[in-house]
Amino acid sequence: MSVAKDRRNARRCALQAMFEMDLGGDNPGGAGESLAGAFRDDAQSSESDSCLAQGVELARAAWSERDVSDAAIAQLSTEWPIHRQPAVDRNVIRIAVYEITHELAPPVAVIDAAVELAREFGGEHSPAFVNAVLDRWWKDRGGKR
């Protein structure tokens, strides 16, 4: 499996774990365990286990810093406070903010990947919303696209 595909799958796992944590009440360990069971049912391979482990690790890290990303995002989406944003959108943004602030991948690639996740898992307006918020946040930090 390619590095890009591994990263994409890890982000998908992270989003699913974050979604579960968000709706289930702040239990990162429980989300990882139930997610692991679901993925093992789908595929029995060391590659999928590796992507799952990376995804759960990313989710736990992004979840632990969600207050930082939520505060930054709240300033940019005053019409849509965090609690009113769809769970998929806010968690895609949380993951992307974490990846960018910790320099896990190039910001443009992270934003593009976040938009793709929003397209795959979110609603009709999710890709545009995620792109607008992340693009503005990145530019406000001095980044160029």
- Sequence-separated contacts (24+) of 99-108 with Cβ below 8 Å: 99/58, 99/62, 100/138, 101/65, 101/68, 101/69, 102/61, 104/58, 105/7, 107/138, 107/143, 108/145
Are 13 and 71 in a shared domain? no
Domains identified in the chain, total number: 2
Taking the complete model, does pTM exceed 0.75, yes or no?
yes
Where in the sequence is the domain holding 73, given as residue range(s)? 65-145
82 and 139 both lie in a single domain: yes
Query: 71 with 116, same domain?
Result: yes
CA distance linking residue 111 with residue 99, whole number of Å: 10
Same domain, 99 and 53: no
Q: Are residues 59 and 92 in the same domain?
A: no
Task: Let me know whether 41 and 86 are in one domain.
Answer: no
Q: What is the pLDDT along the chain (145 residues), one digit of tens a residue?
A: 577 788 899 999 999 999 889 888 655 555 555 555 555 555 555 556 777 889 999 999 999 999 989 998 898 888 888 888 899 999 999 999 999 999 999 999 999 999 999 999 999 999 999 999 999 999 998 877 5
